[in-house]
Structure 1
């Protein structure tokens, strides 16, 4: 009975996920569908599943001591180790807790593209048998050394343990990421942490990657993005119990990125202020230089030689100081330009970090829903419903903000009907209008504009024109969006009432050949690059979805075409 309920519930969620997938082409729903279709539902079937990831790579699974302890240290005692290690010490020399644990602060300004690090060592006299104790010590250290909250410190410590286990002994990897001052303290035998507790004492050096601005109370003193590399994430996500920690790390990374973006904006503003100050100094020197030239001319008019000489020497001293000021301004200007050159690179790095974090957030959401589908189907259904509502609201907001198709770069392009003729033919004028002032900027000189459809993109405005009369045929015409003059005339006949749709720089319209209608795809020069073999209804609508086009065949059946070559894929039957 329970098995039947589980199956029914799973199919119920499957249906809901399918609706969400079809409605929004939502990748999350697609993952849910895959997890339901390909994941066995019954407990007996689940026992037959094979962990493919485990076959491909060795799992990070910490082996902890499970026997009795003579004396168990309290949480306070364990946390005190972290506090002791955070006390001030000399750079590049160990701060010790007896001969059990130590920290080396390996920090240098050289090699700016690599990381400094705090190196946490489990020394030879340590009697530690559980990874949670190590995490508690490092969390306490992070709280006391850098001012992290308990939540952030615990999250970082979890990731630190996996990160150092994943890269255990890999000095090639560590050497590509860390400065020489770090690398001279580790070797293949002690870099990172083993997954076996008995191998920890005397052979463990966990690297805590630091940013250049590492200091107490600063979010991101420890580099969270490096700790969240692909290998580490893959190991952490094997256990769905780590989902809350992954969320916390994503939140920490989000805050760090926001802070870095804010600081970059401050840097950009400071550079603008600096540039204005430099320009002001340059203007002052120009004015002063003009004044000195004037003074020099006046000095030459002094009749008394001694006084004239004295005045000239005084002016020359001023000129020397002026030249020094010019050189100082030039140096400052060069320094500002060098700083300015770093801005695009910094922006690009932040953008990439944002993209990686966005993908990780999506993955967390997928993993959480997949877990809930298998363990908490009611909760999964509720989340799907909430997600659907959220997507609906988001879609409404996007549509509310969308500009009219006739507006491009703040300009309104408007087709004014001059006259309507029989058979759906029009004669029109094209205008450019300033939408905010409601004034006509100018009228297009293009004559013979017909139809009521047009589209705009970076290449210009695509309209339909006839060649002297409506009986002589109709062609696509590309109009310059700044001058409204015709740039290119097409050579293929199109249906005069055709839609015009532009996607990815390609123009889609209905062609007209010997009384038959076909879908055509044109490039930016209005050359025909693809045409459907299927004959269309002349009054068809067109809809784009992903790489597909939905359109009406001559018999009014909805058919699906490939967007790129317009080849037939399928037909949609009610």
Structure 2
């Protein structure tokens, strides 16, 4: 992504998996070419966690913030002092441009996956503006992509948002960074509001968050974002239906107002005649107090009816304008929905064709180097003839370039000791290549992973000490050494003995079965 994201992928170490081990293969290519410069790919922490928060606990963060929005018509700062807060920035005196909710992540914010960030935003929208859970989920996806596309583009925000919004934004924080490592203390997620007071379906401006740049970015995803784009189309169709109803209701009120106006105008004409007669009688008998009162009363009736007619005309004009505005909105939403449905249909066909083409292609699993500096890898499924990636694991923190087959899974060391992260031995399934199980014990960050006799050896981290461990392929701990070792010790195995470097730097011999010192 220009100005937001330039992600270079070094495929300088790809390891093909056979039945026993991974063999090295040198490859070098760009993950995102210039033709995909606007693609949004969020970098999430996908390894084990030291503390696992439930989905409900994560949603409660947003729900609590939303429940604190007591008066949507007034600007407010919600949740100050916590890890997350919202700046509700509205100005009813300015009619042009958007109001906004600015969702801010403090330096202490611990969210490290886009799915959880979206859960927080979704629950906020549901509690603050009465969105259904499914609609709020859809909006949260578009909001995050929208903020990634326009990350740091302060001139864009100034062109679309009121001053009450932009005065709160800073160029280095506006929008959403692609890497979770840049979220805490550096994030101002801007949510465009078109009707913050009424709440409900059209509070968030769906046209803004699904503009051509956002949709184009989604179309570059592996699944082309089809499901969530379909959901957005359905929201727009619902918006169009509601706008149609409002337009029809306003038009009906305008027609009824015209009927009432005609009756009032006829009534006014009669009242003017009566007032004229009363005035003539009063003028003919200036000393007659009753005739003077009757003339004055007749004039007041005329004035009252004239005021009523002017008010009626204003109401009619307002209803006509409302009908036009709502009909225009309905037409816009319907047009966007129709266009997007056509595009989605084409994208679906492309996916079907691609799946059919890949169905019988000879494939292999490999490791692609994801972060050269940290030596982190990601498991991929590739076309054996072309090297083209067919599917990629969401787990981007596989350590030390080693993965071993384990039945229908793969075993690896994965994770990072950052934030809420931790390093463990994990299982990844072959279909989605997601973590399905992890060891109870914490693994040393620079531990090797060695396979021998269908069992695994690695180095555990316990209270600043390191020990060799033996596991089966189900990640059950079978043995742990009493001898402390270097965290990055090589592990050399023959039939009965392990050769490792102990904490003093000397070679130690351990039994391959129980890991006790060999004497």
TM-score of the aligned structures, taking structure 1 as reference length = 0.53
Aligned to 2:67, the other structure's residue is in SS state coil
How far off is 1:55 after superposition? 3.1
How far off is 1:77 after superposition? 1.2
How far off is 1:294 after superposition? 3.1
Give yes or no for contact 1:143–1:150 (8 Å, CA) kept in 2.
yes
- Number of the residue aligned with 1:228: 210
Give yes or no for contact 2:75–2:91 (8 Å, CA) kept in 1.
no
Given the superposition, is the C-alpha separation of residues 93 and 366 from structure 1 closer, same or farther in structure 2, using an over 3 Å criterion? same
Give yes or no for contact 1:104–1:120 (8 Å, CA) kept in 2.
yes
Q: How far apart, in 1, do the equivalents of 2:317 and 2:54 lie?
A: 57
Given the superposition, is the C-alpha separation of residues 334 and 180 from structure 1 closer, same or farther in structure 2, using an over 3 Å criterion? same
Q: How far apart, in 2, do the equivalents of 1:51 and 1:378 lie?
A: 19
- Number of the residue aligned with 2:350: 370
Q: How far apart, in 1, do the equivalents of 2:178 and 2:221 lie?
A: 16
Q: How far apart, in 2, do the equivalents of 1:281 and 1:96 lie?
A: 54
Q: How far apart, in 2, do the equivalents of 1:222 and 1:298 lie?
A: 64
Q: How far apart, in 2, do the equivalents of 1:246 and 1:202 lie?
A: 30
Give yes or no for contact 1:103–1:120 (8 Å, CA) kept in 2.
yes
- Number of the residue aligned with 2:306: 326
Give yes or no for contact 1:81–1:97 (8 Å, CA) kept in 2.
no
- Number of the residue aligned with 1:277: 260
Given the superposition, is the C-alpha separation of residues 184 and 56 from structure 1 closer, same or farther in structure 2, using an over 3 Å criterion? same
After superposition, residues 13-28 of structure 1 pair within 5 angstroms as: none
Give yes or no for contact 1:99–1:124 (8 Å, CA) kept in 2.
no
TM-score of the aligned structures, taking structure 2 as reference length = 0.58
- Larger helix fraction of residues: 1
Higher Rg: 1
How far off is 1:329 after superposition? 1.9
Structure 2 stretches lacking a partner, 5+ long: 1-26, 360-519
- Number of the residue aligned with 1:175: 158
Residue 220 of structure 2 is aligned to residue 238 of structure 1: yes
Aligned to 1:140, the other structure's residue is in SS state helix
Match of 1:198 among 158, 178, 181: 181
Q: How far apart, in 2, do the equivalents of 1:326 and 1:219 lie?
A: 40
Note the alpha carbon deviations across 1:54-79, whole angstroms, 9 max, x for none: 43524211111244422111111111
Q: How far apart, in 1, do the equivalents of 2:49 and 2:153 lie?
A: 33
How far off is 1:253 after superposition? 1.0
Q: How far apart, in 1, do the equivalents of 2:52 and 2:237 lie?
A: 38
How far off is 1:163 after superposition? 0.6
Structure 1 stretches lacking a partner, 5+ long: 1-46, 380-574
Higher relative contact order (CA 8 A, sep 6+): 2
Give yes or no for contact 2:75–2:89 (8 Å, CA) kept in 1.
yes
Give yes or no for contact 1:136–1:154 (8 Å, CA) kept in 2.
yes
Across the aligned residues of Structure 1 and Structure 2, the Cα RMSD in angstroms comes to 2.9
Give yes or no for contact 2:243–2:327 (8 Å, CA) kept in 1.
no
- Number of the residue aligned with 2:122: 139
How far off is 1:291 after superposition? 2.0
Q: How far apart, in 1, do the equivalents of 2:231 and 2:119 lie?
A: 17
Residue 54 of structure 2 is aligned to residue 77 of structure 1: no
Give yes or no for contact 2:244–2:326 (8 Å, CA) kept in 1.
no
Note the alpha carbon deviations across 1:405-442, whole angstroms, 9 max, x for none: xxxxxxxxxxxxxxxxxxxxxxxxxxxxxxxxxxxxxx
- Number of the residue aligned with 1:96: 79
Q: How far apart, in 2, do the equivalents of 1:65 and 1:107 lie?
A: 35
- Number of the residue aligned with 1:506: none
Give yes or no for contact 1:214–1:222 (8 Å, CA) kept in 2.
no
How far off is 1:324 after superposition? 4.3
- Number of the residue aligned with 1:254: 237
Given the superposition, is the C-alpha separation of residues 268 and 53 from structure 1 closer, same or farther in structure 2, using an over 3 Å criterion? farther
Q: How far apart, in 2, do the equivalents of 1:170 and 1:136 lie?
A: 25
Q: How far apart, in 2, do the equivalents of 1:301 and 1:102 lie?
A: 77
Aligned to 1:366, the other structure's residue is in SS state helix
Given the superposition, is the C-alpha separation of residues 301 and 185 from structure 1 closer, same or farther in structure 2, using an over 3 Å criterion? closer
Given the superposition, is the C-alpha separation of residues 125 and 271 from structure 1 closer, same or farther in structure 2, using an over 3 Å criterion? same
After superposition, residues 401-440 of structure 1 pair within 5 angstroms as: none
Given the superposition, is the C-alpha separation of residues 283 and 49 from structure 1 closer, same or farther in structure 2, using an over 3 Å criterion? farther
Given the superposition, is the C-alpha separation of residues 221 and 349 from structure 1 closer, same or farther in structure 2, using an over 3 Å criterion? closer
How far off is 1:51 after superposition? 8.8
Residue 306 of structure 2 is aligned to residue 306 of structure 1: no
- Number of the residue aligned with 1:267: 250
Match of 2:169 among 172, 186, 190: 186
Deviates more, 1:82-91 or 1:366-375: 82-91
After superposition, residues 202-213 of structure 1 pair within 5 angstroms as: 202-212=185-195
Give yes or no for contact 2:176–2:189 (8 Å, CA) kept in 1.
yes
Q: How far apart, in 2, do the equivalents of 1:146 and 1:354 lie?
A: 23
How far off is 1:204 after superposition? 0.6
How far off is 1:353 after superposition? 3.1
Residue 148 of structure 2 is aligned to residue 165 of structure 1: yes
Give yes or no for contact 2:109–2:184 (8 Å, CA) kept in 1.
yes
Q: How far apart, in 1, do the equivalents of 2:314 and 2:69 lie?
A: 39
After superposition, residues 13-92 of structure 1 pair within 5 angstroms as: 54-55=34-35, 57-89=37-69, 91-92=74-75
After superposition, residues 390-539 of structure 1 pair within 5 angstroms as: none
- Number of the residue aligned with 1:156: 139
